[in-house]
Amino acid sequence: MNAIIKFMKRNYKILIAVLCLSLTLFAFKINADKSVDPDPNRDKTLLELLAFVIEKGHYSPAEINDEFSKGIFKDYVDALDPSKRFFLQSDIDEFKQYELQLDDQFLNRDLTFFNLTYTRLMKRMEESKKRYKTILAQPFNYDVDETFNADYDKLPYAKNATEINERWRKQIKLSTLSSLVTKQKLEEDKKKEDPNYKVKSFETLEKETRDSSLKSLDDNFSLIKDLNKEDWFSVYVNSIMGRFDPHTSYFAPEEKDRFDVNISGKLEGIGARLTKKNDFTQIDELISGGPAWKGKQLEAGDLILKVAQGNEEPVDVVGMRLDDVVKKIKGHKGTEVKLTVKKVDGTTKVISIIRDIVEIEETYAKSSIVERNGLKYGVIYLPKFYIDFENKDGRDAGKDIALEVERLKKEDISGIVLDVRDDGGGSLSTVVDIAGLFIEEGPIVQVKSAGKKKEVLYDKDKKIEWDGPLVIMVNSFSASASEILAAAIQDYKRGVIIGSKQTYGKGTVQNVLDLNQFVRNANYGDLGALKITGQKFYRINGGSTQLEGVHSDVVMPDRYAYLKMGERDNENAMPWDKIDPADYSTWKSNENFTKAIANSKDRIAQNAQFKLIEDNAKWIDVKNKENTYSLNINSFKATQEQVENEGKKYKPISDYKNDLVFKSLPYEELEMKADASLKEKRDAWHQALSKDVYVEEALNVLDDLQSKGSVVKGSVSPKMKKDKLVKS
């Protein structure tokens, strides 16, 4: 382990669970036993503990000054009222007197500001409950020409009760209007299917939407009522922790328990990781093999508007806590959940998903074979850099990738595509193992702790498992350990990196510290844990992957290219820097390397499918910036129809087929005969590959990299190295 962890573990007996990177954002919640009143000094003790651990353990703690205080103020107020529908401008003006004092209050364990904001928020929420009930008691007039601007960042706070009443009215009207238009379309569809069907009247549908909205808001406020003061204090604490960097955060006890369950790799639900985006819940990532992934309807960037249990009335989840949205979406295997989502292109869609167990098997590496131009190629997909720290004989990504390479070589393949798209990271030691499969020996990554000398992690095994043509596929969601692998292959010029303009840009390492190790007073209850940034890692050329990520050798158009979803888009992200390079030599057997990259760029520039994807990315960017909505039903329908008509232009993107046939390896073909579930999963993966223009171009690059003597045949044993374990 790194020096700082050794120091803290030796002197303070901290139990350290090394954290695997996840792009999932959490809603933090303290949920101690509410039947026992916590010690009144508990919150102050927690602040003191956090300040101590940050000072001792953070890689580069921010200076706690007036600028730090202003950041806490902004983040905390935004977290309490992201859509500016609770606080008045007079509240904000009153809060402002503390804007430059929060740094001192943190260090002095002063809860004055928190107590003020908490008391005021409770008051404003009680007022809002009466407000929405009054608004929904009467029908809306959808013939009036008026608009609502949902750009909450630029929206000013309401000056008085009249203004905030109007804001609530328009927000609710927009929600009910969207539901009303959807209901009308469903009625029309039913009439087309059955001419005898009696269509519901406008008045009936209008009342249904108000009743549904009322129920959703009642449910939302009921959940809020269940939160106690400690729950809100957790929000305040994370507004402080988040100022150090985006990945340093407090885990309240319930959230720490959930993290422990999730890291086991077994999930029950739809198989999607969620994040908050202003007042919305956003699909951040689909878990390979999960129901949402197999359904092929949800995609990263979709916003969840409503959640329904089977045929029950959908519940509006806009403005709801992420933790509560997750609870509504989760459920037992075999049950149905219906999500009303706003797609990245602006359209709204209801998606039905049958919940299932998201098996850990689908988080493991897998490979496929494809034949073209008389040659066989292997495609290996690695969803994460997994490892079992508790069992040295358990599966890990390094051993599994080595095994897949061995199996592919037995099939006389002539090149390998290693796909780490959407791979959020994991064990850094497995990165060393995997990169070492493709080079003779040498440094793979450099790791640095605050105030300490750098540590270089090496591949020390001279054996090369594969010395033939190699392509690494990345995208903007390839993060952390994925970026280290791509960077090492790129620095050695061992293979071609192909994908998005740049990867996510997360070049830091987090550790999870159990805060209960610091205290002896049982009256405090469970204090939770702190996820803290303790290290940075660097490429062997000396540059950090922080912010910059890895720039692809061949850039392919990406539908999400213009959306702000990377590390560089986080306000408090740690800076890019560089250290001295490690001692390494580039790969020599790559005479076609430069030519292959040039050929690929030329093909992409001339490819109609890529041109359409680029056009679609620009269109999505434009639609994503449109925040003003008409509350007139005819104008609203016209806009929706226009969006749907414009979206038809991009339908060929999803309809594309590359005419390639992907097959499982012989050993897996035998397993599939006895396992229908495995066959279903592999068929789905192969179908996705056959529609993937990016994989097609990666195989084109393998064609261009071909040279005599580039193929290594025969089988070897997977590496079983015992390198130092670092997680990223």
For the chain, what is the mean pLDDT? 86
Measure the CA–CA gap between 486 and 295, rounded to whole angstroms: 30
Question: Is a pLDDT exceeding 80 seen at residue 726?
Answer: no
* SS3 of 318-363: CCCCHHHHHHHHCCCCCCEEEEEEECCCCCEEEEEEECEEECHHHH
What are the φ/ψ torsions at residue 337 (nearest 5 degrees)? -130, 140
Map residue 555 onto helix, strand or coil. strand
For residue 235, count CB atoms less than 10 angstroms from its CB and return exposed for 0-12, middle for 13-18, buried for 19 or more: buried
pLDDT tens by residue, 479-532: 999 999 999 999 999 999 999 999 999 999 888 888 988 877 656 778 889 999
Question: Is a pLDDT exceeding 90 seen at residue 719?
Answer: no
Please state the length of the chain: 728
Structure tokens at 483: 């970026």
pLDDT tens by residue, 257-302: 555 444 434 467 888 888 877 678 999 878 766 888 888 899 888 9
Measure the CA–CA gap between 582 and 604, rounded to whole angstroms: 34
- The mean pLDDT of 104-112, rounded to a whole number, is 95
What is the bridge-based pairing of β-strands 280-286 and 272-277?
antiparallel
Question: Is a pLDDT exceeding 60 seen at residue 716?
Answer: no
Measure the CA–CA gap between 123 and 80, rounded to whole angstroms: 13
Tell me what pLDDT residue 363 has. 75
Tell me what pLDDT residue 290 has. 81
Tell me what pLDDT residue 728 has. 39
Measure the CA–CA gap between 497 and 551, rounded to whole angstroms: 8
Distance, C-alpha 14 to centroid of its chain = 29
Tell me what pLDDT residue 362 has. 67
Distance, C-alpha 529 to centroid of its chain = 21
148: β partners:
629
Degrees, nearest 5: CA angle 333-335-339: 115
Tell me what pLDDT residue 259 has. 55
Identify the band that residue 359 occupies on the pLDDT scale cut at 50, 70 and 90: low
Identify the band that residue 330 occupies on the pLDDT scale cut at 50, 70 and 90: confident
Tell me the residue type at 569: D
Tell me what pLDDT residue 284 has. 84
Identify the band that residue 674 occupies on the pLDDT scale cut at 50, 70 and 90: confident
Helices (H) and strands (E) in the chain, counts: 22, 23
Contact 350, 338 (CB under 8 A): yes
Measure the CA–CA gap between 188 and 181, rounded to whole angstroms: 11
pLDDT tens by residue, 580-594: 999 999 998 888 999
- The mean pLDDT of 678-682, rounded to a whole number, is 88
Question: Is a pLDDT exceeding 60 seen at residue 474?
Answer: yes
348: β partners:
342
> In terms of Cα–Cα distance, which of 378, 423, 420 is closest to 403?
378
- The mean pLDDT of 337-350, rounded to a whole number, is 90
Measure the CA–CA gap between 702 and 699, rounded to whole angstroms: 5
DSSP output for 473-491: EE-TT--THHHHHHHHHHH
Lowest mean pLDDT among 241-245, 427-431, 553-557: 427-431
340: β partners:
306, 350
pLDDT tens by residue, 127-154: 999 999 999 999 999 999 999 999 999 9
Lowest mean pLDDT among 18-22, 452-456, 604-608: 18-22
Tell me what pLDDT residue 21 has. 22
Q: For the chain, what percentages of helix, strand and coil (3-state, to nearest 5) are there? A: 45, 15, 40
Identify the band that residue 675 occupies on the pLDDT scale cut at 50, 70 and 90: confident
Tell me what pLDDT residue 27 has. 24
Tell me what pLDDT residue 2 has. 35
Tell me what pLDDT residue 69 has. 97
Instruction: Name the DSSP class of 673.
Output: H
pLDDT tens by residue, 16-46: 222 222 222 222 222 333 333 445 588 998 9
Question: Is a pLDDT exceeding 50 seen at residue 180?
Answer: yes
